[in-house]
Amino acid sequence: MLIVGELINCTRKKVASAVEARDRKFIQDLARRQDEAGADYLDVNGGVLGQETEALQWIIEAVQEVSQKPLCVDSSISEVILAALPKVAKRPLINSLSAEPRRLEALLPAALEHRAKVIALCLDENGIPKTADGKLRIAEHLLRRFTDAGLALDDIYVDPCLFPVASDQQSGREVLRAIELIMTEFRGVHTILGLSNVSFGLPLRRALNRTFLALAMARGLDAAILDPLDRAAMATLVTARTLLGNDASCMKYVTAYRAGRLQAEAGG
């Protein structure tokens, strides 16, 4: 299970304030803590109004001074990603490409040039489909484009795009079905979710997030963008992986137990 640490993101007010103030210590502390908590990648998003390109490059420099983990380069603006990629020391994960023609044409050549892994959003010029079948249709289109261009399935992480269940009560059900369809139809590809989307607008968000994580893993999800400092979510990940038969001799479970990582509080 690949874990992308989500915390260095300027949609979070404290992070945005730290980036605007160029508070290196704050950003580097977030990087270290996520690294130590078990993140495989660190998401970096510099979405500060009017200075996103410069902000993201500053974040990348700051994070790479204290962590050896590869980066997930995250922006809704293609030009910001293009400017950031040359600054990334290790093979990056691009967050994200979609089936929107302009974004796809801008970022796919860059992904190939930088040997990047990619997050493929089930999103096109008509928006995000609500049904699993609609999500599968876009995934199929993107995977054909990517593999024809030379990307390996193993370097592609399909995101079925999860709506908050507070606004669309069927979103969770359709995303779970989409994960299963994608993982069955395209052997060798990966699926990923921005986990916290599911709980937006509801109380006890962490309880919802970790329950959905276990449900999604049971359908084949093998990567997630989440808060690795949420000990209960990380404990859920370890236990679900073991119960699904993806932990040889239960060794990762036993190791986590001995390290005290399963004694997480159950609060939301």
Nearest to 139 by CA among 178, 94, 197: 178
For residue 139, is it within any domain?
A: yes
Q: Which residues contact 178 (CB under 8 A, 6 or more apart)?
A: 122, 132, 135, 136, 139, 160
79 and 95 in a common domain:
no
Burial string for 20-55 (b: 16+ CB within 10 Å, else e) reads eeeebebbbebbeebbebbbbbbbbbbbbeeebbeb
Cβ atoms of 189 and 153 closer than 8 Å: yes
Tens of pLDDT, residue by residue over 8-39, are 999 999 999 999 999 999 999 999 999 999 99
Tens of pLDDT, residue by residue over 124-161, are 999 999 999 999 999 999 999 999 999 999 999 999 99
199 and 98 in a common domain:
yes
Cβ atoms of 228 and 31 closer than 8 Å: no
Query: How many structural domains does the chain have?
Result: 2
Cβ atoms of 87 and 57 closer than 8 Å: yes
For residue 245, is it within any domain?
A: no
Nearest to 161 by CA among 128, 118, 196: 128
203 and 102 in a common domain:
yes
Backbone angles phi, psi at 156, to 5 degrees: -115, 130
H or E element in which residue 55 lies: helix 52-64
For residue 246, is it within any domain?
A: no
d(C-alpha 261, C-alpha 37), whole Å: 9
213 and 152 in a common domain:
yes
For residue 36, is it within any domain?
A: yes
Tens of pLDDT, residue by residue over 62-96, are 999 999 999 999 999 999 999 999 999 999 999 99
pLDDT of residue 49: 78
For residue 67, is it within any domain?
A: yes
Q: CATH number for the domain including 120? A: 3.20.20.20
Q: For the whole model, what pTM was predicted? A: 0.95
For residue 52, is it within any domain?
A: yes
pLDDT of residue 263: 79
How many angstroms separate the first and last alpha carbons of the chain?
Answer: 23
110 and 58 in a common domain:
no
Domain span including residue 69? 1-86
pLDDT of residue 264: 61
Looking up tokens 């139809």, which residue turns up? 185
Cβ atoms of 52 and 75 closer than 8 Å: yes
C-beta atoms surrounding 144 within 10 Å: 10
